[in-house]
Amino acid sequence: MVVLVWLLLSYINWSLVATFFRHQTFYEDPRYILFIHMVINDGVQLTVTITLFILSYVFYRINVSFCCFFILVAVFTTRNTPVNLASMAIERYIAICEPLRHPEICTVRRTYIVIGMIWFICAAPDITDLFVTLATESMSFFHESVFCLRQNVFKDPILAQKRLAFDIIYFSGVFLTLVFTYLRILFAARALSTERTSAKKARNTILIHGAQLAMCMLSYISPSVEIVLRLIFPGRVLEIRYANYLIVYILPRFLSPLIYGVRDKKFRKYFRTVLSVQQVPG
């Protein structure tokens, strides 16, 4: 079931990426550049986490070095999503509240710089986990096999406290950004009657971003919830892990196609074309 869902999402994401790159109007627009970055990022995240999910079922224990790689990529891409959502909300805020300055502020070059900054600020804190582990563990540890969980590889208690602190900082920053941009767009819509339609669409988009953020936050509380559920249902460990994975990691990834593949008129027009071409035999 997990593999089938992954294949379905991969097909949808590939169609979104194909739609983006086949039409120049999209890769010259910062809004869609940030969107397609999130689609690619989520695609990588799903592929890595599903691979790790399947390996944990088939082999249970895997090599520590491979586990480090899977965990770090999964963590980087998971952190990227909420920060990318904040960047997209800011772009919509500038488009509605500073329309004359939008072409000057939101250039393609600056958008790619923002994407680079997203990766840096999301990857840098967790790279230190690897360095601390290399410094505190013997090299033989990296040749051992473990059940691939973050706490089984990066075991220093200080790292867990650091992760908690950064999680709070990241999600507080993103949450405040979404609230700020939503309120400013709301006030702009009331002041400018000519912009009410576009402002309403922007507000709805930011609200859906908020829903995405809420579901992304589930990945940070899910380990604690899973522990509690295991205590309540001790004989249902596999079922709990399976349900947790579907709700926390897969369900939020259905929203991106909804926002831009269905709601956005401009993207929907070209997206339908790509889907119709793929369905034509030969």
- Report how many domains make up the chain: 1
Residue found under tokens 């922007």: 202
Per-residue pLDDT reduced to its tens digit, 64-122:
888 888 889 988 888 888 888 888 888 888 888 888 888 889 899 999 999 999 999 88
More confident residue, 192 or 245: 245
239-263 mean pLDDT: 71
SS3 of the chain: the string is CHHHHHHHHHHHHHHHHHHHHHCCCCCCCHHHHHHHHHHHHHHHHHHHHHHHHHHHHHCCEEEHHHHHHHHHHHHHHHHHHHHHHHHHHHHHHHHHHCCCCHHHHCCHHHHHHHHHHHHHHHHHHHHHHHHHHHHHCCHHHHHCEEECCHHHHCCCHHHHHHHHHHHHHHHHHHHHHHHHHHHHHHHHHHHCHHHHHHHHHHHHHHHHHHHHHHHHHHHHHHHHHHHHHHHHCCCCHHHHHHHHHHHHHHHHHHHHHHHHHHHCHHHHHHHHHHHHHHHCCC
Q: Can you tell me the mean pLDDT for 27-56?
A: 87
Confidence of residue 37 (pLDDT cuts 50, 70, 90): very high
Domain span holding position 50: 2-279
Express each pLDDT in 184-219 by its tens digit.
877 776 666 555 666 666 667 667 767 776 776 666
Amino acid 209: pLDDT: 67
d(CA 76, CA 124) in angstroms, rounded, equals: 9
pTM for the predicted model, two decimal places:
0.82
The pLDDT, as a whole number, for residue 222 is 67
pLDDT at 174 over 50: yes
What is the token pair recorded at 163?
Answer: 């992760």
Query: What residues contact 92, with CB distance under 8 A and at least 6 apart?
Result: 31, 181, 185, 202, 205, 206
**CATH classification at residue 127:** 1.20.1070.10
Tens of pLDDT, residue by residue over 128-159, are: 888 888 888 888 888 888 888 788 888 878 88
Question: Cα(101)–Cα(248) distance, rounded to whole angstroms?
Answer: 38
| pLDDT average, residue stretch 45-57 | 84
